[in-house]
Amino acid sequence: MTAKNTNKLKILNDPIYGFITIPNELIFDLIEHPYFQRLRRVSQMGLSYMVYPGAHHTRFLHAIGAMYLMQKAVRVLRFKNVNISRDEEEAVYIAILLHDIGHGAFSHALEHSIVSGISHEEISLKFMESLNVEFNGKLSLAIEIFKGNYHRKFLHQLISSQLDMDRLDYLKRDSFYTGVSEGNINSERLIVMLNVKDEELVVEEKGIYSVEKFIIARRLMYWQVYLHKTGIVAENILVKILKRAKELAFTGIELKTSTALNYFLYKDINSSNFDDETLSIFSQLDDYDILSAIKEWTNNEDKVLSRLSRMLVDRRLMRIEIQNESFSTKKISQIENEVKLRYNLNDEELGYFFIHDTISNQAYNSVKNQIHILYKNGELKETAAASDQLNLQALSTPVVKHFICYPKGEF
């Protein structure tokens, strides 16, 4: 790593971990960069604050928190005699710091409406490559690790796997800020249990119960937080708003928006035409563009757009029904008819006010990115197989639920 310039050494206060030290000057400069500062304006949990009013934390602190855990992981692994060079150390810090930099505002909604066909991981990579040019190639190794091309697999697995520092931070952080304390995981203990075997990340035998508990906590967070029914309604309304806006934009109607949002509404952006200019404008797009526009649209002439926008701004959300079985076509057409009649909607408009979809959750994926347990005798076992009681195999079956949304009360 580069020599320390103490003028630039900074300590950050994190409500969760206390003091976080920025490890060196390059990382300090990356954090100071406008690309990264944008993350201060991108909420980590989108509209979840409508359910959990404490959850206004941003991707900025999550990224730094994940880097903090990575510092712990490096210390633990070196203590266990895993050799990690200074360059690898810096690269893995950069990679985790920037792993989410491509997240748009209300990412999941955005990816289903206006920035479709390109994932946030791809955009993260574009940002990293742009920064690599600006910082004279100093991010090259970080990019190799991020892409999974580096020969020491565990470095990539620390960034992206079922026990990566990303998850260890966001589960803990989201649990903390929502107040759903049962989702709280013991990141410190899980990291203490990590080790490396044949360049792969593994968990030591005595960590098996902690891994089980981590998987159960993750599942609980999914059903109680990430897939909370009120949150699903809010997110689906947001998708519908943006779709409607884009539709109106394509018919040439002028909508009040920020310059950055305007670009993405009136242009058809996908992975093939996402160029440097697009990246530059994307770097200016954050939660404020989206919510400000929606606030303006509450008074838009288009009734679909204004009604949906008002729902979100005043938190007068739709009703939602969720069930394990799919809804019968009979029930669906019955409600569709009621909604059309009651709110005087045509078929096209109905598509915005009757939502019918599924959600799913897979607590643990025993096929992709398995978590391996290292036994004292050197043997490796996949977690689901290692657990003596807990049927993790069952947990690795995705659970699918069906839902419908439609307005309640007055429009």
Which residues between 64 and 103 bind a copy of itself (CB under 8 A)?
64
- Token pair of 141, please? 């190794």
Of residues 374 through 393, those in contact with a copy of itself by CB under 8 A are 388-391
Output the CA–CA distances (angstroms, integers) from residue 236 to 46, 48, 150, 378, 399, in the order listed: 12, 12, 39, 48, 20
Residue with Cβ nearer a copy of itself (256 or 342):
256
How many residues touch a copy of itself under the rule CB under 8 A: the total is 72
| C-alpha span between 134 and 56 (Å, rounded) | 31
Out of 117, 148, 277, 394, point to the residue binding a copy of itself (CB under 8 A): 394
Structural element, H or E, at residue 355:
strand 355-361
Of residues 33 through 52, those in contact with a copy of itself by CB under 8 A are 34, 37, 40-41, 49-50, 52
Residue 55: how many other CB atoms lie within 10 Å: 23
- Print the binding letters for residues 352-371 with a copy of itself: x by CB under 8 A, - otherwise: -----------x--------
Out of 223, 274, 327, 343, point to the residue binding a copy of itself (CB under 8 A): 223
- Token pair of 381, please? 């076992």
Out of 2, 10, 53, 253, point to the residue binding a copy of itself (CB under 8 A): 53
CA–chain centroid gap for 199, Å, is: 27
By CB under 8 A, residue 262 contacts a copy of itself: no
| C-alpha span between 337 and 333 (Å, rounded) | 6
Least distance between a copy of itself and beta carbon 151 (Å): 27
Of residues 287 through 316, those in contact with a copy of itself by CB under 8 A are 287-289, 291-292, 295-296, 299, 313-315
Of residues 145 through 204, those in contact with a copy of itself by CB under 8 A are 176-182, 184, 186, 188-189, 192
By CB under 8 A, residue 19 contacts a copy of itself: yes
By CB under 8 A, residue 213 contacts a copy of itself: yes
Furthest-apart CA atoms within the chain: distance in Å: 71
Spatial contact of 62 and 100, defined as CB atoms under 8 Å apart:
yes
Residue with Cβ nearer a copy of itself (116 or 397):
397
Instruction: Say which DSSP state 363 is in.
Output: S
| C-alpha span between 156 and 375 (Å, rounded) | 23
